[in-house]
Amino acid sequence: MASGEPGAVGALLRREGIYSSHLAAWRKQLRANGTNGLEARKPGRKPKLDAKDRQLLAATKELAKLRRQLEVANAVIELQKKAHAILGIALPELDEES
């Protein structure tokens, strides 16, 4: 550690590969946020969406996909009904109770 000799802090910083600007930034964080400001953080940008939002977005996309598939299926059924009517083929009756 620094022994109080002139230049001892500078020598320590050089030996550890720390710039004086790091010390200034750490002191600023300490003043602004206390010891919580010095805690390690994950590098990089914060994610725009949290897990709950990502799950909601995925569910919304899946719902839209299923709605499109349902529209196509209903269109195919209507086409089949028209084809049966044109060809004169009787469609089987469906039980409404089941």
Domain annotation covers residue 56: yes
The pLDDT tens digits of the residues spanning 43-94 come to: 888 778 888 999 999 999 999 999 999 999 999 999 999 998 898 888 777 7
Residue 54 and residue 88 share a domain: yes
Q: Could you give the number of structural domains in the chain?
A: 2
For the chain, the first-to-last Cα distance in angstroms comes to 84
Distance CA 68, CA 63 (A): 9
Residue 27 and residue 61 share a domain: no
Domain annotation covers residue 3: no
User: How many helices and strands in the chain, by DSSP H and E?
Assistant: 3, 0
The pLDDT tens digits of the residues spanning 15-33 come to: 888 888 888 888 888 888 8
Residue 52 and residue 89 share a domain: yes
The pLDDT tens digits of the residues spanning 25-56 come to: 888 888 888 887 777 777 888 778 888 999 99
Residue 58 identity (one-letter amino acid)? A
Distance CA 89, CA 98 (A): 24
- Whether this prediction's pTM lies above 0.75 is answered by no
Residue 14 and residue 33 share a domain: yes
Residue 80 and residue 56 share a domain: yes
Predicted confidence at residue 41, as pLDDT, reads 78
Domain annotation covers residue 29: yes
Q: Which domain holds residue 84?
A: 47-93
Residue 55 and residue 23 share a domain: no
